[in-house]
Amino acid sequence: MITARDLRKEYGGFVAVEGSTFTVEEGEVFGIIGPNGAGKTTTLKMLAGLVEPTDGDVSVAGYDAGETEMRQRLGFLPEESPLYEEMTPVSYLHFFADLYDVPEGVADRRIHDTLERLELDHRDRPLGDMSKGMKRKVAIARSLINDPDVLIYDEPGSGLDPLTTNYIIDFTRELGEQGKTIVFSAHNLYHVESICDRVAIMNEGRIVAKGDLDELQAEYGQTEYHVYTTVEVPESARDNGYHRRVVESMDAVDETREAAQAAGGEVVDIRTEESSLEEVFLNVAESDPEAERTSGPRA
């Protein structure tokens, strides 16, 4: 559904994105994460046809990025999304429906259905009188007005209160479950972890790792086994009436079991803990040989 090959974007000699290559399959939710200035926003804008790559190619739904046919298949949500504040949500969305040549009856039904799903009340209130969270919901509804196959969302929950952010993330997850192909960035890695099928990690304008969460965990994460015993064993500590030893392999788990049995006790529980996406991200960044490279700001 989306293919990016060797994407490069240079601004006056400054390289914002370098050599990015990835694919996003139909119906997949694909996350792009990285620190501020990693090149995420520039990458998303190139996918959406808003920024022309200096080098490389992008295709979306079989069309080159920026083609009219591609724009009909795409919904884009920028991190900052100014609205026409004198309009109401309904009039604003009808305006964009007209731009996409959506028939009036279809547009009216789609607008009200989407606003209902987003639980947006006060639909006849001027946008300028609405909260940031309500405006964000209207912007999301705008991205869906043409019933696109592909959605590109840049920080969909940016700057919102936790309740509204969680609602928007849940709504984005529902769109993925309905078969939409979604590419999005987010600083909250818990949200990325909870919604994405695969993730690309960017640093200093480059993709430094990509894969599903299990693949990234296997390569950059760490698995720990917390073994609880009824007796003290080497390298254990008291924990809720038992002795807990933290090890990193099943061989060490077996050694702990044997040590407990030799001391007249037993293993009562084994709990597995894996690195979160945030810990994986930090490990990737620390292992990147160019992570300390000095550069100017990126988006």
Task: Kindly state whether residues 178 and 239 are assigned to the same domain.
Answer: no
pLDDT recorded at residue 37: 87
pLDDT recorded at residue 33: 92
Distance CA 298, CA 185 (A): 14
Distance CA 108, CA 42 (A): 33
- Rounded mean pLDDT of 81-89? 93
Distance CA 99, CA 146 (A): 9
Task: Kindly state whether residues 264 and 166 are assigned to the same domain.
Answer: no
- Rounded mean pLDDT of 166-170? 89
Most confident segment among 145-154, 267-276, 285-294? 145-154
- Give strand pairing partners of 74: 150
Distance CA 299, CA 295 (A): 12
- Rounded mean pLDDT of 161-179? 89
In a domain? residue 86:
no
In a domain? residue 168:
yes
Q: Picking from 21-30, 58-67, 176-185, 235-244, which range would have the lowest pLDDT averaged per residue?
A: 58-67
The percentage of residues in the chain with a pLDDT greater than 90, rounded to a whole number, is: 66
pLDDT recorded at residue 232: 95
In a domain? residue 282:
no
| Chain mean pLDDT for the chain | 90
The separation between CA 25 and the C-alpha centre of its own chain, rounded to angstroms, equals: 15
Look at residue 289 and tell me whether its pLDDT is greater than 60: no
pLDDT recorded at residue 275: 81
pLDDT confidence tier of residue 297, bands split at 50, 70 and 90: very low
CB within 8 Å of 183: residues ≥ 6 apart:
2, 24, 30, 31, 32, 44, 47, 150, 151, 152, 153
CATH number at residue 177: 3.40.50.300
pLDDT in tens, 250-260: 999 999 999 99
Task: Kindly state whether residues 227 and 214 are assigned to the same domain.
Answer: no
Q: Two tokens at 231?
A: 């007796």
Q: Is the dihedral of CA 92, 98, 100, 105 positive or negative?
A: positive
In a domain? residue 250:
yes
In a domain? residue 114:
no
Taken as a whole, the chain contains a residue count of 299
Q: Two tokens at 229?
A: 């015993």
Q: What is the DSSP letter of 187?
A: S
Task: Kindly state whether residues 66 and 160 are assigned to the same domain.
Answer: yes
What is 235-252 written as a DSSP string?
A: TEEEETTEEEEEESSHHH
Q: Element (H or E) spanning 7, and its range?
A: strand 2-11
Look at residue 290 and tell me whether its pLDDT is greater than 60: no
Q: Give the Å distances, CA to CA, from 244 to 224, 236, 256, 263.
A: 12, 5, 10, 15
Distance CA 148, CA 12 (A): 34
Residue 209 neighbours by CB distance under 10 Å:
21
In a domain? residue 46:
yes
* Dihedral angle, C-alpha 121, 156, 128, 90, nearest 10 °: -50
Look at residue 295 and tell me whether its pLDDT is greater than 60: no
Task: Kindly state whether residues 153 and 248 are assigned to the same domain.
Answer: no
pLDDT recorded at residue 296: 36
In a domain? residue 290:
no
Task: Kindly state whether residues 17 and 37 are assigned to the same domain.
Answer: yes
pLDDT in tens, 108-155: 999 999 999 999 988 889 999 999 999 999 999 999 999 999 999 999
In the chain, the number of structural domains is 2
Task: Kindly state whether residues 8 and 69 are assigned to the same domain.
Answer: yes
Distance CA 156, CA 171 (A): 10
Look at residue 160 and tell me whether its pLDDT is greater than 50: yes
158 or 207: which carries more pLDDT confidence?
207
Q: Two tokens at 7?
A: 């994407």
Task: Kindly state whether residues 232 and 209 are assigned to the same domain.
Answer: no
Quickly list H helices, the chain. Answer: 40-47, 68-72, 89-99, 104-117, 132-143, 162-177, 189-195, 213-220, 250-262, 277-287
In a domain? residue 38:
yes
CATH number at residue 256: 3.30.1490
Q: What is the DSSP letter of 133?
A: H
Domain that holds residue 256: 223-274
pLDDT recorded at residue 163: 86
pLDDT recorded at residue 285: 76
Task: Kindly state whether residues 181 and 231 are assigned to the same domain.
Answer: no
Contact 43, 89 (CB under 8 A): no
pLDDT recorded at residue 288: 65
Q: At 227, phi and psi to the nearest 5?
A: -105, 120
pLDDT recorded at residue 85: 93
Distance CA 38, CA 285 (A): 11
Identify the residue whose tokens are 């693949």.
215
